[in-house]
Chain A
Amino acid sequence: MSTSNSLNAPPSNAGGFELPREHYLNATYGIRSWLLTTDHKRIALLYLASVTFFFFIGGTFASMIRIHLLTPNGYLVTPETYNKLFTMHGVAMIFFFLIPSIPAVLGNFLIPLMIGAKDLAFPKINLLSWYIYLIGGSFVLYSFSTGGLDTGWTFYTPLSSVYSNSAVTPAVIGIFINGFSSILTGLNFIVTIHTMRAPGMTWFRLPLFVWAHYATSLIFILGTPVIAITLLLAGLERMLHLGFFNPALGGDPILFQHLFWFYSHPAVYIMILPAMGVISEIIPTFARKPIFGYSFIAGSSIAIAVIGFFVWAHHMFLTGESAYAALTFSLLSYLVAIPSAVKVFNWTSTLYKGSISWETPMLYGLGFIGLFLIGGLTGLFLACLGLDIHLHDTYFVIAHFHYIMVGGAVMGYVGGLHFWWPKITGRLYPEGLAKTAAVTLFIGFNLTFFPQFILGYLGMPRRYHSYPPEFQVFNVMSTAGASILALGYLLPMIYLTWSMRYGKIAGPNPWPATGLEWKTASPPLTENFDVTPEVNWEPYDFDNRHDLGLDVKGAPSLAPAHGDD
C-alpha cells in the first residue's frame, strides 16, 4: 500500500478510459427501440424505472403514516384513511417494489452476463413479463386512486371479500395479473441457468448471485401460482357473493390465511435471497479474498428456499390452530435460522484477514450483515410460541420485518446498484456523496425502526391510528429517523442520475472484481461478449487472476493466503 489514495481509487479507474464506441445503450435509438426491446439489459432498465416509480408511491404513503403518528391522537388523517395508508404502503412496496426489485433489475441485467450468455433463454417472454407487471400495476393504481384499499396488504377474508367498502376488486385483479410477471421471470431464470452457461461455467463456478437467483426462481414458480389462485377465489367471492372463505356461507376464513401465507412467507425469501446474492459478490470483492465456504453459501440459498415453504403457519399461531401444528411450525421456523446463519458466518469469515477497503458497496454490504443479523434474530423471538403471544401483531413484528426487508433487501438492492452501476452505465458515481448517503441511510434506518422494537415490546399494536401518550417519545424518534431515511434515498436517486451523464468513465473492471460480467466492456455490447467466453478459473479466485491488475505496484494488496501469519 504505497499511498493512502490508492485505497479509494483502484488503479484501473485512474487511467484514461473511454466508453466503447458501440454498446447496448447507443446501439439503437428511439422510443420504439426501448418499448419493443428484447435485450435483457434494456428490459432491466425499464424495470428500474418502473420499480422506482412504485417505490416513490409506497414511500409517500410511508411518510404520511409517520407524520400521522407524531402525536398520540393522530395528526394528519382520519382513522379510515389511516387504514388505507398502511394497506397501500404494503401493497405498493411488497408486490410492486421489493419482489421485482433485485431479480427483475439486477438479476435481469446480470445473470446472462455472469454466465457468459448472449441473453436470457426467452427474451420475448422477458419483455412480456415487464408488460404484465405494468398492466397489473395499472389495476392497482386504479384501485389506489378510486377509493383506495383498506384491508391490509394481507387481504384477509371476509373483510376483503365481503365487508370492505374500498376498491378491493381492481387491486386483487392487479396482483393476480402481476403474479404471472414473477412466474415468467422465474421460469426464464431457471431455464437460462440450466441451458445457457458458457463453456467451462460449471454449476460450482457460478457466482453466488446466480445461485441465490436460482433459489428465488424456485419460489417464484412454486409459490406465486398459489397466491394468484387464492386472490382469484377471494375476488370471485367478492364479485359474485360466493362463500369459499366466508363463514356465514359455510366457507373457512382460516383456509384463506393458510393459502395466503403459503406464498407470502416464501415471498419474504424472494426479497432477501437476491440481496444475499448481492452481498456474496460485494464482500469478497472488497476483502480481496476468495469467499469462505462457497458451496455452503450456495447450498444454504437452496435450503432457505426449500425450508421456507414449510413454515407458513407461524403467521397464524393465534388463530387457534392445533398445538401440534403450532409446535411443528415453530420448530421448522427455527430451522430456517441455520442456513441463514451459515451465510452470516461465511461472510464474516471472508472478512477475516481480508484486505478490506471501504468503497460504497462495501458499506452497504457490512450494513446488511448487521441489520440482517438483528432482523433474523428477532425473527426467532416471533417463532417462539410463548413469546409470540405477547409480540403478535405489535410493532415488534413491524420492526422485525422492516429490518429484513428494508435493512436487508433494500440495502442489498441499493448496494448492488452502486456495485454494478459502472457496468450498467459505464460511469462511476461520486464516491464521497455515495458514502455520505450510505451512512445517512444506515443511521436513518436504525433510528426509524429500532424504537419500534421497544414500542412493540411495550405493547403498541400495529395498524392502529392512535396510541397512549407514553408511547409518543419513541414515535417521534421513529418519525425523525424516517426523515433522515428519506434523505438517504433521495441522495442516490439524484447523484446516480447525474452520474449517467457526468460521472467519471469507469472502464471494464473498476473495483476490480472476479466475475465474468467484468470481463466485457462497460456498458456491454448488445450481444454481451465479442466472442463466447470460456471459463477456466474458479470463482472469487484473486490469487491466480493476473488480468485483474492487483499484483502491480500501488494496487490494493491481496489478502494473505490462509495460515500465512
Chain B
Amino acid sequence: MHRTGELYGQFETLDQQRESASLGMWVFLVTEVLFFGGMFMTYTLNRSTYPDVFGEASRSINLGLGAFNTVVLIGSSLTMAMSVWAAQVGKKQLVTIFLILTLILGTVFLGVKGVEYHEKFVEHHVPGLNFNFEPGASVATNAHAQLFFSLYFAMTGLHALHMIIGAGLLIWLIKESFKGRFNPGYSTPVDLVGLYWHFVDIVWIFLFPLLYLIDRH
C-alpha cells in the first residue's frame, strides 16, 4: 500500500489511522502483561514455598543501587511524558530535548543494572555458573537460593531487554524529531513509544519490591 504524506494507503482518514495505531499498542501491552505474568506466577509460587531462603537471598542484592535505579526510571517516565506533551502542543525543540533526556536516563538505568549483574557474578550468585549462595550453605538452601536468583535474572533480564528495545525506539524518534516530523496533527509515534516506556516502568515498579524489599524490615 502506498502512502500519501502521513496517511498509509489502507486507511481512509488520519483519525482512523491514529485510532488503529493506538489500539494496536494497547492490545500489545495487554499481551505483554500476560508475557510477564508467567514469570510472576512462577515467582509467587516459589516464594510462598521457600519464604525464608527467598528473604535471605533478597537481602544479598544491593538495595542502594536498586533504589537509585527506581528513581532514575521514574524520572525517565517524567521526561517521556514531557516529550509527549511537547509534541502535542507543537514545541518541536522541546520534543527532541526531552527524548534525549529520556534516552540518557534509560541508559543510566541499564548501566547501573550492569554493575549489579557484575556484583552478582563476583559473588557466585549467577545461576548455572559455579553458583554458591554462601559458604557452608546446605544443598537445599543453595538450590532454593538458586531459584531466587534464576527468577531475579530472568525477570530483570527480560525487563532490561524491553529497556534496550525502548532505547532503540527512542533513537529512532530522536532522528525523526530532528527532522521536525512531529506536530500537533501528527504525534502518534511519540504517544505510542511513550505508552510502551511507561509500561516498562510499571513492570519495574512491581519488580523492585518483589525482588529487593521482601525482607528488609
Contact = CB atoms under 8 A, between A and B. Distances in A.
Nearest to A179: B35
Given A191-B27, A195-B16, A259-B41, A241 B143 contact: no
Given A183-B31, A532-B12, A243 B146 contact: yes
Contact of B28 (A187, A244, A255, A258): A187
Given A187-B28, A195-B16, A252 B39 contact: no
Contacts of B16: 195-196
B142 to A, nearest CB: 9
Nearest to A190: B27
A249 B16 CA distance: 53
Interface residues of A, number: 42
B39 A118 contact: no
B30 A221 contact: yes
Nearest to B141: A250
Given A195-B23, A250-B50, A226 B45 contact: no
B37 interface: yes
Contact of A233 (B24, B39, B143): B39
B1 interface: yes
A194 interface: yes
Interface centre among B9, B16, B140, B151, by most A CB within 10 Å?
B9
Contacts of B140: 250
Given A187-B28, A196-B20, A225-B34, A252 B45 contact: yes
A307 to B, nearest CB: 18
Contacts of B32: 225
Interface stretch (A119-127, A282-290, A425-433): A119-127
A249 B34 CA distance: 26
B154 interface: yes
A149 interface: no
Interface residues of B, number: 37
A460 interface: no
Contacts of A341: none
Given A118-B9, A221-B30, A243-B146, A187 B35 contact: no
A195 B35 contact: no
B49 A119 contact: no
A329 to B, nearest CB: 17
Nearest to A252: B45
Contacts of A229: 35-39
Nearest to A40: B10
Interface string A120-147: 1111000000000000000000000000
Contacts of A225: 31-32, 34-35, 37-38
A222 B34 contact: yes
A251 interface: yes
Interface in B111-157: 127-128, 140, 143-144, 146-147, 150-151, 154
Given A249-B147, A251-B147, A121 B24 contact: yes
A258 B42 CA distance: 10
A123 B10 contact: yes
Contacts, number: 113
Interface in B71-113: none
B150 A244 contact: yes
A122 B12 contact: no
A188 B32 CA distance: 15
Given A225-B31, A233-B154, A252-B49, A195 B20 contact: yes
A38 B23 CA distance: 20
Contacts of B49: 250, 252
A240 interface: yes
Nearest to A258: B41
A119 B30 contact: no
Interface centre among A120, A228, A242, by most B CB within 10 Å?
A242
Contacts of A252: 45-46, 49
B45 A255 contact: yes
A236 interface: yes
A226 B42 CA distance: 11
B19 interface: yes
A386 B117 CA distance: 51
A123 B1 contact: yes
B172 to A, nearest CB: 15
Contacts of A244: 42, 46, 147, 150-151
B10 A119 contact: yes
Contacts of B11: 121, 196
Contact of B143 (A117, A194, A243, A259): A243
Given A118-B10, A196-B16, A252-B45, A226 B37 contact: yes
A448 interface: no
Nearest to B33: A225
Given A117-B10, A118-B9, A250 B27 contact: no
Given A222-B31, A225-B38, A244-B150, 13 more contacts: A118-B1, A121-B10, A187-B24, A188-B24, A190-B27, A221-B34, A222-B30, A223-B34, A236-B154, A244-B42, A250-B49, A251-B147, A252-B49
23 contacts: A121-B10, A121-B11, A123-B10, A187-B24, A187-B27, A191-B27, A195-B19, A221-B27, A225-B32, A226-B37, A228-B35, A230-B38, A236-B154, A240-B127, A240-B128, A243-B146, A243-B147, A244-B150, A250-B140, A250-B144, A250-B147, A255-B45, A258-B41
Interface of A: 38, 117-123, 183, 187-188, 190-192, 194-196, 221-226, 228-230, 233, 236, 240-244, 248-252, 255, 258-259, 532
| Closest 6 pairs (CB-CB, A-B) | A240-B128, A229-B38, A225-B35, A119-B10, A225-B34, A242-B150
